[in-house]
Amino acid sequence: MWSGQRAVRYDGEFYPVKGLHPGPQPAHDMQIWLGVGGPKLLRYLGGHADGWLPSNTYFAPDKLPAMNRQIDLGATEAGRDPSTIVRAYNVFGEISEDRADTPFSGTVDQWTKTLTSLAVDTGMDTFIFAAPGDDIAQTRRFAEEVVPAVRHNVAQHRRTQH
């Protein structure tokens, strides 16, 4: 569909396409990210994909280090630099004024500590936030309060490690 040709024709087993006009070519290279969790697929991801996209609702934070090790193993076996693979974590939760006993809920300070730990201790490098009901106030709070604090903490941690 991104070939730049004037029209596309494909005689598929289930659906034929005749005369479909493709859209514009992507402005950048396309990447492949996988949301897999088993050891074999994680190693495959390390050897072939550009990023990993697990979710906190399926993979708890304590599972991430072992899973990242499988990705790193697959990358190393394939002759790839493991650090080139994006590690993005979908985090579903809610920011509140009250402290909470569970991750991905509670105060800005709790969120900041949780995400900082995920970045420095588990190797996750990107966080994708979703609030119940797509709450814009929650999203704004995440972007304006949590994100800058996490960036600051991670940068500070990295400075002290070098």
Reported confidence tier of residue 54, pLDDT bands at 50, 70, 90: very high
At residue 8, the pLDDT reads 78
Q: What average pLDDT does range 57-73 have in this prediction?
A: 96
Same domain, 17 and 51: no
pTM strictly above 0.85? no
Q: Which position has the higher pLDDT, 159 or 5?
A: 159
DSSP conformation letters of the chain: --S--S-EEEE-SS-EEEEEPP-PPPSS----EE---SHHHHHHHHHH-SEE--BTTTS-GGGHHHHHHHHHHHHHHTT--GGGSEEEEEEE-EE-SS--SSTTEE-HHHHHHHHHHHHHHH---EEEEE-GGG-HHHHHHIIIIIHHHHHHHHHHHHHHH-
Name the domain count of the chain: 2
Same domain, 36 and 70: yes
At residue 17, the pLDDT reads 83
**Interval 97-156: pLDDT, tens:** 999 999 899 999 999 999 999 999 998 999 999 999 999 999 999 999 999 999 999 999
Same domain, 19 and 82: no
- Count the residues in the chain: 162
Provide the domain limits for residue 82.
Answer: 31-161
Same domain, 18 and 53: no
